[in-house]
């Protein structure tokens, strides 16, 4: 299983679904698994990152992970 620190979390600009992808996919165009919109994998701006472990855990419970095999 991959190390959690090697993933970036971001939000689909179309449907606002929270997504997660391997950090080596930053800059790549992918399809949102929720709505099918094309988007670029990008880390959130620093102000958007969760500030506590509780917020991070809550976000991860709603996040869809994009795996390399999904491309």
C-alpha span between 9 and 49 (Å, rounded) = 8
Residue showing tokens 């620190």? 5
Contact between 26 and 42 (Cβ < 8 Å): yes
**pLDDT tens across 1-32, in order?**
455 568 888 889 899 898 999 999 999 999 99
Give me the pLDDT at residue 47, please: 57
Residue range 34-57, pLDDT digits in tens: 999 999 998 766 655 556 777 667
Whole-number Å distance between alpha carbons of 16 and 52: 21
d(CA 59, CA 48): 11
What pLDDT is stored for residue 64 in this prediction? 75
59 vs 41, higher pLDDT: 41
Number of H helices and number of E strands within the chain? 1, 5
């Amino acid at each position: 299983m991959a190390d959690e620190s090697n993933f970036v979390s971001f939000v689909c600009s179309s449907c606002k679904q929270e997504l997660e992808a391997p950090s080596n996919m930053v800059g790549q165009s992918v399809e949102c698994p929720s709505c099918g919109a094309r988007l670029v994998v990008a880390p959130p701006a620093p102000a958007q990152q969760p500030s506590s472990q509780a917020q991070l855990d809550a976000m991860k419970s709603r996040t869809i992970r994009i795996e390399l095999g999904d491309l």
